[in-house]
Amino acid sequence: MTDDAPDLFGHTPPQGDLFGGDSPAATPKVDPAAIRLRLQAMLDDIRAARDESPWSSATTQLNKLLFPQMANWLPAVERDALRMAFEAELARLGLT
């Protein structure tokens, strides 16, 4: 069934088919430049910190989860370099 095709009773589904093929809405559009800027800002924040996290405890935990996931949108070499830099800063501050 396509997104616009009615079912056997003539009803058109209000949203796409759960098991249908890839639809344009199913593939997120990601701007690597925006991701790069956000990760660099996070890295700059933590590099500027002297002896403790620049963020609250909850935000620190969230950033520890988000940073490596966001880096997945970048090319592998850049992804790995950013992850290693972030991990090094976490270790320097004793946050690992």
The answer to whether position 4 is within a domain reads no
Band of the pLDDT at 43, cuts 50, 70, 90? very high
Q: Can you give the pLDDT at residue 78?
A: 97
Residue 44's domain comprises 31-92
The answer to whether position 6 is within a domain reads no
The answer to whether position 26 is within a domain reads no
The answer to whether position 14 is within a domain reads no
Q: What value, to the nearest 5°, has the Cα angle with vertex 61 and ends 59 and 62? A: 60
**Residue 34 pLDDT > 70, yes or no?**
yes
Q: Can you give the pLDDT at residue 1?
A: 46
The answer to whether position 59 is within a domain reads yes
Residue with the bigger pLDDT between 17 and 85: it is 85
The answer to whether position 42 is within a domain reads yes
**pTM score, whole prediction:** 0.71
The answer to whether position 84 is within a domain reads yes
The answer to whether position 57 is within a domain reads yes
Count up the domains in the chain and report the number: 1
Taking only the tens place, the pLDDT of each residue in 59-91 is: 999 999 999 999 999 999 999 999 999 999 999
